A and B are shown apart, each in its own frame.
Chain A
Amino acid sequence: MVTEPLVGATQEFVLTPKLATSWNQTSPTTWEFKLRDDVKFHNGQPMTANEVKFTLDRTCKLNAASREMADYKSSRVIDDHTIEVTTNTNIPILPAILHYSNFGIIHPDSLNAQGNFSIPVGTGPMMYDSFDQQTRVFTVKKNPDYWAGTVKLDGVVFSSVPDHNSRTLAIEKGDIDFTVDLPYNEAERIDALPGITVEKYLTPRVYVLYVNFDRAPLQDIRLRQALSLAINRTDIVNHVLYGIGQPAKGFFLPSMSFGNKNLEQLPYDPVKAKALLAEMGYKDTNGDGIVEKDGQPLTINLITATNRPALSPMAETIGSDLKAIGIQSKVEVMASAAGNDRVSAGTYDLNLVANNIAMVPDPGYILPKWFKSTGDTNKGHYKNATLDAQIDDAMHTVDDKERLAKWNKVEADAYDLLPIIPVADYGVLIVKKDTVQGYKFDPTAHDYALDYEITITE
């Protein structure tokens, strides 16, 4: 709201011009961005390539995640409204990376005399008003000179109410106009209250099961398929998520333009799952309901963390789904740090997480992380030379259409191979008074954004 990036994105995750009007890759490692010439910072200064260079240099110096994603080398001011960005390697998704909120363009006045960030001087519809270090209450006021249109609200006060129940009560009472993330089971009751609306949206995050490929017999595709067939995704969404979210269909959200549109929801078929286990040689020989092979019962250790509210009940549900096909499931719920340790030590079979899939609105963000042998998030050590080659090829394909087709293929192949088993798309709740008008959910924001057209009617 205060700062804006060069590149925008639609609700379908299609890139659009924002502070930059256009861009093109001039060589495998250089990009040229044309900037708007009618944008002013909150301090009245016009936005030029100098501030953009300042921002990119600074962000990549300070934020490791941004630096690694962009593989940023340097940038050069060509003229007031043209900038050239150089990367170390060929990064076809650089514009998508620059959509990321870390790359919001700021004026050097944002820093104090010591060179530390003090107050954000950006170009957005709202300007910094105050920040209380103690209560973390942040207030912004209307930018009267906003380039994209007239800002309707006079200002916004952001206050932090960490407790779910208090937040619910605060909007019920009317202390606040807008909030997010109610307890799922409260959504219906709050929505039914006069004057308050609860809206459900999907956010670029999916519940997935990471598979530990160092543990036999998870390397067997038939077992992974059986696991997937055992999971009743529709029931999980309806009963664990209270309908907030939806069964996974591919690895991306249906709204994402770059997802493979041919992928269907993975089927729920416990009979077929049992048949696959039987094919692998697992049979219930002693009548205890658990299948064995060579006298050893088939045991799956499913771990998950407490950091997101639905993970624990979802893990329990999946555990009982697995029992239903004869797998002895052992579900463990722990603090996320403890979970990370278990993953590092490799002492688990499945790890249920809710992973962000489009911090950068491009399939090239998550697919290499997940499926490449060297991927950051490939904690299960999945290795598939064919898939590796496909991913490398897609990553360095410059033509947008051609690249997208390659990514769609990678997604489809992974959907068959199930190195990661998708469960459900992550849903969020937006709660607002009916007086709040013109709100548009921005799924590409991390996590929530208000745009300049939002207003309050009396």
Chain B
Amino acid sequence: MHYYLIKRLGFLVLTIIAASALAFFMLHAVPGETAENVARHTIVGMEDSVSAEVAQEISSKYNLNDPIWIQYTNWLSGLIFRGDLGSSYVYKDTSVMTLISLALGPTIILAIASMLIVIVVGIPLGMYCAVHENRPSDLIIRGATILSISFPSFWLALMLILVFSLMLNLLPVAGYGSPANIVLPAVALALHPTAVVLRIVRTSMLETLGQQYITFAIAKGLSFGHILWNHAIKNALIPVLTLLGVYFGHLLAGTVIIENIFAWPGIGNLLISSVDARDIPVVTSCIVVIVAMFLIVNFVVDISYHFIDPRIRYE
């Protein structure tokens, strides 16, 4: 187990380095001078054209004239030796750490809220559908999941606003801060994963209910409720756990479209605006944080298997 942990940790570090390097070098490969882009986004009055002197000034301030690998090594050594992600080119030299920690909170809150919806709605309804296989209620619920999977999330988000904010006047359109603000973005984000999780839970549950240990449990004289709770659900949820981990990882990576529609100050918004302004330290750091969170969530899922499924032991 210790060896396994060390191996996973090593993998995490390598992945982060690889992802940050990829982000760093790709940003430099994208068309457009970095310094010029930064100037267009930071200097009021230079949106249309940037003078060569200003571009040069920015380049020398942030060492943009150094070879890319030196710039990258400088950034990486800052991260490794000082735990420092550098300073933003765009937000008046605010430390990237500050920017990310401000954006991470809203993203995590939203991810957790969406995940709760996915779990509280997707899993019980999936179970319900499996137990009521092919009855009208099952068909109706599954029909609804098809709808929620096939419509794009931004459209669903706007429809939610239209119905719950405009027509029913229950919730605010956009914003961050009050508990009412989280409802619509969380639902908009949760719709798709809930539908997928519901369907997977249903399939997994049906498969589990067909297992011999369920038949044998009936032969043992156990009640249906007992079999459902103590055998079927536990076994049926094992494959779902990985899926939940993947979705949670995705939600933690921030969701550009939904954050944009609901003016949610999360990491997706930060990432996109920073890509646009070529704020390389912020983009690279966002990617590092996103990758790290994704890997950590998956790691936690893997470790939880260790506790849930006795057949799985990590050596």
Q: Spell out A's residues near B (CB within 8 Å).
A: 63-66, 68-69, 100-102, 117, 133-137, 159-163, 165-166, 169-170, 172-173, 175, 335-338, 340-342, 344, 353, 355-356, 359, 369, 376-377, 379, 446
Rounded to whole Å, the gap between the CB of B182 and the closest CB of chain A is: 13
Task: Encode contact with A along B53-68: 1 for CB under 8 Å, 0 otherwise.
Answer: 1100100000000000
A355-B166 in contact (CB<8A): no
Which of A65, A100, A175 lies in contact with B46, CB distance below 8 A? A65
Given contacts A64-B54, A65-B45, A359-B45, contact A173 B165 (CB under 8 A): yes
Given contacts A162-B263, A173-B169, contact A102 B45 (CB under 8 A): yes
- Nearest B residue to A357 by beta-carbon distance? B48
Q: In the assembled complex, which residues on chain A have CB atoms less than 8 Å from the CB atom of B105?
A: 134
Is B36 within 8 A of A340, CB to CB?
yes
CA distance A134 to B98 in the complex (A): 10
Judge whether A337 and B278 touch: CB under 8 Å: yes
**Is A175 in contact with B45, judged by CB distance below 8 angstroms?**
no
Since A64-B54, A340-B37 are in contact, a sample of 9 more A-B pairs with Cβ atoms closer than 8 Å, ordered by chain A residue number, is A63-B44, A64-B39, A65-B43, A69-B45, A134-B105, A161-B174, A161-B263, A172-B166, A173-B166
Does A66 lie within 8 Å of B177, measured CB to CB?
no
Q: What is the CA–CA distance of A286 and B123 in the complex, to the nearest angstrom? A: 68
Option from B30, B31, B174 in Cβ contact (under 8 Å) with A163: B174
Contacts of A65 in B (CB 8 A): 43-46, 54
Q: Which of B31, B158, B262 has the most CB of A within 10 A?
A: B31
A residues in contact with B40, CB < 8 Å:
336
- In the complex, what residues of A have CB within 8 A of residue B49's CB? 369, 376-377, 379
Q: Tell whether B312 is near chain A: CB-to-CB under 8 Å.
A: no
**Which residues of B lie under 8 Å from residue A64 when comparing CB positions?**
39, 43, 46, 51, 53-54, 57
CB neighbours of A353 from chain B (8 A): 48
Q: Is the CB of A337 within 8 A of B45?
A: no
Question: Could you list some 19 contacts between A and B, CB below 8 A?
Answer: A64-B39, A68-B51, A133-B102, A134-B106, A134-B265, A135-B175, A161-B173, A163-B260, A163-B263, A173-B165, A173-B166, A175-B165, A175-B173, A337-B37, A341-B32, A342-B31, A359-B45, A369-B49, A446-B45
Q: How far is the CA of A223 from the CA of B45 in the complex (A)?
A: 33
A163 contacts B265, C-beta separation under 8 Å? no
Task: Tell me, yes or no, whether B298 is within 8 Å of chain A by CB.
Answer: no
Contact with A166, one of B45, B102, B262 (Cβ below 8 angstroms) = B262
User: Who on chain B is nearest to A446 by CB?
Assistant: B44
Is B133 close to A, CB under 8 A? no
List the count of A-B residue pairs having beta carbons below 8 Å apart: 117
A14–B30 CA distance with the chains assembled, in angstroms: 43
Assuming the contacts A160-B263, A166-B263, A172-B166, asked whether A134 and B102 have C-beta atoms less than 8 A apart, the reply is yes
Q: How far is the CB of B11 from chain A (nearest CB, A)?
A: 33
Contacts of B269 in A (CB 8 A): 162
Residue in A136, A337, A342 with the greatest tally of chain B CB atoms within 10 Å: A337
Q: Give Cα A162 to B260, complex, Å.
A: 6
CB distance from A307 to the nearest CB of B (A): 9
Which residue on chain A has the smallest CB distance to residue B94? A133
**Is B121 engaged at the interface, CB distance under 8 Å to the other chain?**
no
Confirm or deny: B286 has a beta carbon within 8 angstroms of a beta carbon on chain A. Answer: no
Asked if residues B166 and A169 are in contact (CB atoms below 8 Å), the reply is yes
Residue among B54, B57, B175 with the most chain A CB within 10 A? B175
* Closest CB in chain B relative to A303 CB, distance in Å: 12
B207 sits at the interface (CB 8 A) = no
By a CB distance below 8 angstroms, the chain B residues around A341 are 31-33
Q: Cβ of B309 < 8 Å from any Cβ of A?
A: no
9 closest Cβ pairs, A-B complex: A337-B32, A65-B45, A338-B31, A341-B31, A64-B54, A170-B173, A161-B263, A377-B49, A134-B102
- Expressed in whole angstroms, the minimum distance between the Cβ of B158 and any Cβ of chain A is 6
Q: Please give the distance in Å from B40's CB to the nearest CB on chain A.
A: 8
Residues on the A chain within 8 Å of B39, using CB? 64
Q: How far is the CA of A172 from the CA of B172 in the complex (A)?
A: 11
Q: A134-B105, A134-B106 are in contact. Are A169 and B43 (CB under 8 A)?
A: no
Residues of B within 8 A of A137 (CB): 177
